[in-house]
Amino acid sequence: MRDHSETKIKLENKSRVDTSFAHLENNVHGSPYRLRIEISNICNLRCTFAKDVFSNCSQWEINKTPVLMSFRFFKRIIDEVGIYLTASELYNYGEPFINPYAIDMIRYLKKINPGVIIEMHTNGHYFETESKRLDLVNSGLDVLSFSVDGITQEIYERYRVGGNLEIVTEAIRKICHLKKVMDIKNPKIKFQFVIFEHNLHQALNVKDFAKELGVDEVVIKTDFFNIKSEFKNSHRFIYENILSLQSKDSMDSFFKKDSEARHKFCDFPWVYPTILADGRVIICCRDRYYRSVVGIIKHNKTLSEIWNGDNYRDFRKKFLTNEQTPYPCCECGCRHK
Ligand code: SF4
Ligand code: SF4
């Protein structure tokens, strides 16, 4: 059963942070309550440009030193701020399950904060043995989303270069089966299909394909950040045809609520930092090029010091002005008043 004091600590912290956001203060009177941690910046795939694909993975666009976050470093972060988190994502750019400590990291965060919702995204190539699948379903992970943007190998590998659809679908099928046999709910298994022009024709068959594997949810979405306006009509066509296939919300947010969202400030700079595998802290996971570094967690520098350090406070200040909106927010529809 969840500890009452754990819930109280989290609620009090969240309330302080939300108040700082409501008053648009540069200094946040609490710890981030949502956190993304890039436990690996290495990937086995090479998702890449095709002429009709909107973007490629920054994994291969920027010159990065390959890093797997050590368990010791992860523990240090969680020991500092883990108790305050309501949600955490243990991935960013890179395949998280390449990190041999991925399962230990999930377990550790759950031990410190049993109520936190942990979500991970994977390309699905690291669950080839029964023992790995067992570790996964016993880890405490809440949500696992498989990125599968094609239902035939030919279409799948147009974007997921180097990927093997059969390996991925077998992993999904076996994990879902294991959950069923063990009669457990988590991790909730999502099948995520990002629509590009080259796979548009498969979008209407995705739900049947994924449901046959036993997944809990099918998520069909667009590459929101990089969508080309000329494809919006195609997407609207798809939207109108797939409403019955999945939760309406994700597409609604793009076509309808999106215009409302643009009239509010994004709260991420007050709530939700991203820690890269090498310890750098960036403003937001949408910074695909790691240009918004506000500090580096090192032996003598903690996340809390960075959180209200000069760089973060300066960023929040500029974020609120239309003239100086810093990257990545200047390219993101979420920021506007
Ligand atoms: S699987 Fe994910 S992290 Fe790996 S190259 Fe593709 S988009 Fe990037
Ligand atoms: S405005 Fe966009 S880029 Fe900036 S913090 Fe919010 S979600 Fe991230």
Q: What is the pLDDT of residues 77-105, one digit of tens each?
A: 999 999 999 999 999 989 999 999 999 99
Per-residue pLDDT, 223? 58
Q: What ligand is nearest to the CA atom of residue 335? A: 2
pLDDT at 274 over 50: yes
Q: Is the CB of 332 under 6 A from ligand 2?
A: yes
Kindly give, in sequence order, each residue whose CB lies less than 8 Å from that of residue 280, ignoring residues fewer than 6 positions away: 290, 293, 295, 296, 297
If pLDDT is split at 50, 70 and 90, which confidence band does 337 have? Answer: very low
Percent of the chain with pLDDT over 70: 80
Write out pLDDT tens, residues 133-189: 999 999 999 999 999 999 999 999 998 999 999 999 999 999 999 999 999 999 999
Angle at 209 between CA 204 and CA 214, to 5 degrees: 135
First to last CA, the chain: 41
Q: What's the pLDDT score for residue 268?
A: 95
Ligand nearest to the CA of 64: 1
The residue contributing the CA closest to ligand 2 atom 3 is: 329
3-class state of residue 217 by DSSP:
strand
Q: Closest ligand to 284 CA?
A: 2
Label residue 265 by pLDDT band (50, 70, 90): confident
C-alpha torsion angle, residues 327, 328, 334, 335 (rounded to 10): -20
Q: How far is the CA of 124 from the centre of ligand 2 (A)?
A: 28
| Closest-lying ligand 2 atom to the alpha carbon of residue 329 | 4
The pLDDT assigned to 196 comes to 78
Structure-model confidence comparison of residues 202 and 222, the more confident one:
202
Report pTM. Answer: 0.89
User: Phi and psi of 207, rounded to 5°?
Assistant: -60, -45
Neighbours of 289 (CB within 10 A): 12
Which of the listed residues 36, 262, 271, 283 should we mutate to test ligand 2's pocket, taking the one with most ligand atoms within 8 A of CB? 283
Query: In this predicted structure, what is the pLDDT of residue 64?
Result: 72
